[in-house]
Each structure stands twice: as structure tokens, then as C-alpha cells.
Copies of this chain bind each other. A is one copy, B any other.
């Protein structure tokens, strides 16, 4: 069932059985065409380079022998930026997930995914989505929550927050006064109160705290 306008898929997977099974499933799907199935990232990269081949989608095993899975992503992305990469993995190897994401992978599935899921994932990446296994999504969310910490409240008043913003933007007291049409002394007083509430003694201390704890 080859099709001129089929979605061009590359498969990189060292396990023979899994590779053959999956490429079979792909080729039996309408509009999907698995032109090559490689057993290593190196081989895939070689062919992509030699034939200037830019697959629509690359299904990439993260636990490949030889080249690091993460390194492969970068190489592939530099060789063919438009190709969408969907990672396949057995373990939900925590750390690699995030590095893969930052390297430019568009999707992240576990190998126990059903053929249907994988096919569906391939179609949705092409529509700009990022199919992700729910367990992996959980890890992403957890880290996300940690990064987006609770906007700690130090009892800053509206005016104080306003002035703190200008402080973060590098304004001097004189400039803040001019901007807000206030006396220099008023700004000075507000700064003192901000310092006290934030328990700092310098403007950089206040700026650091404001940025670290997202007080704006």
C-alpha cells in the first residue's frame, strides 16, 4: 500500500522484532509509509545525509546502543529541522525525558503503546500536537509545578509591587520617582518598606528575591 502522498516515516530501533513489527504496522496503515527502518541512529543519520532525506516523522528509540539517544535528536534536528521526532522508550527514565524534550523531541511514548496509539500519535504531531504518555506527562507536570513555585506573599501593597517592578527593570530611585510622579523621598520610604517585608537590605537583594520567587 505505497502512496505518493503518504507520510514519510523513519524508524530507528535496535530490537529486530519490535522494529519489524512496527514497520509492518506502519506500512499497513493508509497514508503512512515507513521507507527505512534502521537499527542505529548512526545508520539513519548516514542515509539521511547521503540521500538528503528529510522524513516527516522519525520514531526514535531512546535506549539505542552506540550514539546517545539525546545526542541523536540534536543531530537529526540539525540535519532535518522539519522532521518531527517521537521518542519511544521502555523505562520512563526520568532525566532523559527532559533532555529529550529540550533537544526538540515532539512526542514521547512508552513502548507498550498499542499500534493504534502510535499511529494516532504520528498523525497528531503533524497537526502540531505533542502526544505524550500519561506517565511521562506526569513527570513533566511535577517538574513544572516545582518550577512555577507558589507565588509567595510578603504582604506587599500595590504601590510596593509597582515599585518593585521598576526596581527589577533597573530604575534608580530618582527615575522611579520621575516615572510615578512622586517625591524621591516617597520612593525611598517605599523601598525601605519593601526591604523590610522581603527581609533584604539592598536593591539587588530585593531584585533577586522578586525574580526567584516570582513576586511580579
Contact = CB atoms under 8 A, between A and B. Distances in A.
Q: How many copies of the polypeptide does the oligomer hold?
A: 2
A104 to B, nearest CB: 8
Given A202-B170, A205-B170, A137 B132 contact: yes
B134 A144 contact: no
Contacts of A102: 144-145, 148
Interface stretch (A12-20, A32-40, A206-214): A206-214
B207 A141 contact: no
Contacts of A101: 141, 144-145, 148
A67 B129 CA distance: 30
A179 interface: no
Interface in A123-144: 124-125, 128-135, 137-138, 140-141, 143-144
A189 to B, nearest CB: 19
A73 interface: no
Contacts of A205: 170
Contacts of A167: 204
Contacts of A141: 101, 130, 132, 140
Interface of A: 98, 101-102, 106-107, 121, 124-125, 128-135, 137-138, 140-141, 143-145, 147-148, 167-170, 172, 200-208, 211-212
A131 B205 CA distance: 40
Nearest to A138: B130
A17 B211 CA distance: 46
B140 A98 contact: no
Contacts of A172: 202
A202 to B, nearest CB: 6
